[in-house]
Structure 1
Amino acid sequence: MTTTVDSSLYSIMKARKSVRVFDPNATITKEEIAEMLELATIAPSSSNLQSWRFLVIQDAAVKKELKAIANNQAQAEEASAVIAILGDVDAYKKVEQIYTQNVAEGHMDESIKDRTIANTHAVYPSFPREVRMNVASFDAGLVSMQLMLIAKEKGYDTVTMGGFDKAKFAERFDLPENVFPIVLIALGKAAAPAYGSSRLPLGEIADFI
């Protein structure tokens, strides 16, 4: 039995490319970006702790500073906005807020909430910082991909930038000790087409047992 799927999803996936030349005159409103971020955060996360945090940079002068931090990548300055995807190693501290809201919205009952909160407080604080950073980085990948597909559906283009000085970024934007930068996503309108890219054959990367 075959199932019918919405082919528009596949069209968006295939159309999304990493754009590196942006129209510096294109603008995106704060409200549009906020809507995209809210939709992106529907993405799953470890224990639903939502360890992602976002810093949206739209100011022209600040983007110029960011370009220097991002190894002089032009898109850091020319994109309409740069969204810094950050991770919170102390995300577990919001577990009570998150699971109380889950109960209020009818997703679970009090007993599950209480058990989950207790388990989270028993486990997460014992993890080394590196482990909690890995958890946040994994979650960041999920929300980042979702954000880029949402942006494409709305007619915007993106590129991820991992090549930036994370220590300088944290210092410039005065990040608290528990928050660290993971990746930058340039968002805007393409001023030149993106390059296509090939993919390895499935037979080289997947085994079926």
Structure 2
Amino acid sequence: MNKTNINDFQEIISGRRSIRNYDPSVKISKEEMTEILQKATLAPSSLNLQPWRFLVIDSSEGKATLAPLAKFNQTQVNTSAAVIAVFVDMNSVNHLEEIYDEAVRKGYMPPEVRDQQIPAIKGYINDAPTEKYKEMNLIDGGIVSMQLMLAARAHGYDTNPIGGFEKDQIAEAFGMDKDRYYPVMLISIGKAADAGYQSVRLPVEQITEWK
């Protein structure tokens, strides 16, 4: 797959379209998909907890399971190389020590900062209402999803973010703990079979104030 010039950021962002119809003959290797996901995970997250979790649905069996859960998005499910279900892990704090220890090992963080921040973060999360913690994670899930779509485009693929699916059923349908993993969105990915549609954006002057 020929990649878009990854240094041409203007082309990546201005050429992005929400593509619903893909060339079903084009597949994405596990190695390349891993590279795309790795670039997506360079996105920022609150407290660097990285709560995002990905389910790559690219087999015929997986798509058959997904199809009834995304009734209004059958074209994307059937023709895309894959549909990526983005979740947030409500137990992401369990990886706090792993993340911060690695930051210390690599010299990114002094040990004393780690030792101060870990108990403070745990205390904050333990005291935070569940809905507030979920909201924080969902913001991070949205950020990583956008970065995933841009990374896919830099690899020469197109995407479509999908919010209309059975969010209360998808985790359990794929053997995941629905109380722990909360769905953010589905993202179809593949080689576009058509050009998609350009869309209008409100002018910055209309949506921005300076004080």
Instruction: Kindly indicate whether the alpha-carbon contact (under 8 Å) linking 2:19 and 2:196 is maintained by their aligned counterparts in 1.
Output: yes
Aligned to 1:50: 50
Report whether the alignment pairs 1:142 with 2:147: no
1:77 offset after TM fit, Å?
Answer: 2.2
1:162 aligned to 2:154? no
Matched, 1:207 2:199: no
| Alpha-carbon distance between aligned partners in 1 of 2:61 and 2:180, rounded to the nearest angstrom | 27
TM-score normalised by length of structure 1 = 0.94
| Equivalent runs, 1:1-209 vs 2, <5 Å | 8-73=8-73, 74-176=75-177, 177-209=179-211
Q: Distance in 2 between matches of 1:201 and 1:35?
A: 35
CA shift, 1:104, in A, is 0.5
Match of 1:28, as an amino acid? I
- Per the alignment, in what secondary structure is the counterpart of residue 166 of structure 1? coil
Question: How big is each residue's C-alpha offset from its partner over 1:62-95, in whole Å with a ceiling of 9 and x where there is no partner?
Answer: 2133122012412022110111110011211211
| Aligned-residue offset at 1:186 | 0.4
Q: CA deviation at 1:26?
A: 1.1
In structure 2, give the amino acid aligned to 1:31: E
Question: Please, what is the CA RMSD of the aligned residues?
Answer: 1.3
Counterpart code for 1:71: K
| Residues 62/7 of structure 1: CA separation in 2 closer, same or farther (3 Å cut) | closer
Gaps of 5+ in 1: 1-5
Unaligned runs of 5+ in 2: 1-5
Amino acid in structure 1 at the alignment position of 2:38: E
Shift of residue 11 of structure 1? 1.3
Letter in 1 for 2:57: I
* Residue aligned with 2:164, SS: coil
Report the equivalent of 1:3.
none
Task: Report the alpha carbon displacement of residue 161 of structure 1 after superposing the two structures with TM.
Answer: 0.4
Distance across 2 between alignment mates of 1:111 and 1:188: 45
| Matched residue SS, 2:146 | helix
Q: Distance in 1 between matches of 2:58 and 2:161?
A: 16
Q: 2:65, 2:173 within 8 Å by CA — same for their partners in 1?
A: no
Q: 1:20 to 1:140 in 2, by over 3 A?
A: same
Q: Partner of 1:187: helix, strand, or coil?
A: strand
Q: Which amino acid aligns with 1:70?
A: A
Q: Aligned AA for 2:55?
A: L
User: Contact 2:163–2:185 (CA<8 Å) still a contact in 1?
Assistant: yes
User: What is the CA-CA distance between 1:58 and the residue it aligns to?
Assistant: 0.7
Q: Distance in 2 between matches of 1:120 and 1:77?
A: 43
Q: Which deviates more, 58-67 or 113-122?
A: 58-67
Whole-angstrom distance in 2 between the partners of 1:129 and 1:22: 39
Aligned residues: 204
